[in-house]
Amino acid sequence: MISFLDVKGINAQYRTEILEAMTRVFDQGTYILGKEVELFEQEFAAYCGSRHAIGVANGLDALILILQAYKELGVMADGDEVIVPANTYIASILAISKAGMVPILVEPDIKTYNIDPLYIEQKITQRTKAILPVHLYGRPADMDPVLALARKYNLKVIEDAAQAHGAFYKGKRVGSLGDAAGFSFYPGKNLGAVGDGGAVTTSDDALADAIKALRNYGSHKKYYNLYKGYNSRLDELQAALLRVKLRHLDDENQRRNAVASRYSQEIVTAHIVKPEMRVDGSQVWHLYVVRTSERERFQKYLLDNGVQTVIHYPVAPHHQPAYKEWHAMKFPVSEMIHREVLSLPISPVMTGDQVSEVIKVVNAYA
Ligand SMILES: *Cc1c(COP(=O)(O)O)cnc(C)c1O
């Protein structure tokens, strides 16, 4: 069986380095907000090309804390609207709800699966305060039109970069394209911890200060509380491991890109729609997502022939029980995507033979 994603195999490549780093933390004795988190924050900010990175507990919290910080700074308020793609992973939308704001869904572009800039402007109201583009599946959203609208209407741009560590848009890394960005280090992400983790990147000094306080009970100075904050911190063990893996991230993304290139060139069946492959290497291929109107049959066929796949995602956010107030809304493009998508195996540790096998099995589908 070719597994969808071999997380254990990915981490095993760096076993010695990682265990050395984690042992250093174990022996050193500071486990929360110490040297490793501080160094990881410096290294990750430099990597992304932003002035600050703030380690937090997970990707959902990263997004919530950005919005909450804007509230503390008086830039946003409860009930304000945030524009977000209708086909994103639920966390992008939950973050807006959890921060006391209103998610406004916008259809994606069927070619890129990212928010369609053409439909954003008609959703902007007096209450709109931000646009939250998601770099879905590792492909950067088309940021220029988003940034132009943000300038025109005085909105903040918050990137959800949880699936796109290291991706480029016009020569700049994601995480440095908008006002702030949220990253996740969930184990299966391109930069994954062995537990939960996340980060915010931003070049806004005031926002960075507010988030640093908010993640730590709202405290800017020990036992003095500026805000009603959270406990949402990246821990030292995860930071030590992430520092090791960050050094290999570009190489891993290149290997993902090589797998995607082979799929794009060698998969020739007319039964599926492949994702658009850009030749400039700007995508980091968190997922390789194909589309077919006969998904169930295709997925079963692949499994019967030794290829494990996953559906990202089976239910559109506006059809989730959690958002029953949206059930009457219609987003036909997003709904079709949720009906048809299937993710093929992709990872930096897939062997050439495994890639060949997936291609052979897919092409033999009738
Ligand atoms: C994974 C993910 C998140 C949430 O990250 P967690 O660390 O799991 O909380 C947010 N947005 C997107 C697009 C994701 O893929």
Q: Is the CB of 114 under 6 A from ligand 1?
A: no
The answer, yes or no, to whether any atom of ligand 1 lies below 6 A from the CB of 260, is no
- Separation of CA 307 and ligand 1 centre (Å): 25
pLDDT of residue 271: 95
The residues, any chain, with a CB within 8 Å of residue 200's CB and separated by 6 or more, are: 52, 53, 54, 56, 62, 65, 66, 180, 181, 182, 183, 208, 211
**Separation between Cα atoms, residue 338 and residue 325, nearest integer Å:** 19
Q: Which residue has the tokens 């209450």?
A: 127
**What value, to the nearest 5°, has the Cα angle with vertex 185 and ends 275 and 259?**
30
Q: What is the DSSP string of 72-108?
A: HTTS--TT-EEEEETTS-HHHHHHHHHTT-EEEEEPB
Residue 62, ligand 1, Cβ within 6 A: no
Query: Is 92 within 8 Å of 132 (Cβ atoms)?
Result: yes
Distance in Å, CA 74 to ligand 1 centroid: 26
Max intra-chain CA distance, the chain = 66
- Establish whether residue 190 lines the binding site of ligand 1, counting it when its CB lies within 6 angstroms of any ligand atom: no
240 Cα–ligand 1 center, Å:
21
CA 60 to ligand 1 centroid distance, Å: 6
Q: pTM for the full model?
A: 0.98
Q: Relative to the CA of 186, which ligand 1 atom is closest?
A: 7
Whether 73 contacts 305, CB under 8 Å: no
Q: Is the peptide bond before 137 cis (omega within 30 degrees of 0)?
A: no
CA 190 / ligand 1 centre spacing (Å): 12
Q: Which DSSP symbol is given to 322?
A: G
**Which of 89, 132, 233, 234 maximizes ligand 1 atoms within 8 Å of its Cβ, making it the mutation to test the pocket?**
89
In the chain, which stretches have pLDDT less than 50? none
- Tens digits of per-residue pLDDT, 207-252? 999 999 999 999 999 999 999 999 999 999 999 999 999 999 999 9
Q: Which atom of ligand 1 is nearest to the CA of 92?
A: 11
Q: Using only C-alpha atoms, what is the Rg of the chain? A: 20
Which tokens belong to 135? 């770099």
Choose one of 63, 96, 163 to mutate for the ligand 1 pocket test, by most ligand atoms within 8 angstroms of C-beta.
Answer: 163
341 CA from centroid of ligand 1 (Å): 18
What local confidence, expressed as pLDDT, does residue 296 receive?
Answer: 98
Q: Check residue 166 and give left, alpha or beta (phi > 0: left; psi -120 to 50: alpha).
A: left
User: Which pLDDT score is estimated for 280?
Assistant: 85
Alpha carbon of 161 to ligand 1 centroid (Å): 8
Kindly give the number of the ligand 1 atom that is closest to the alpha carbon of 91.
10
- Provide the pLDDT for residue 100: 98
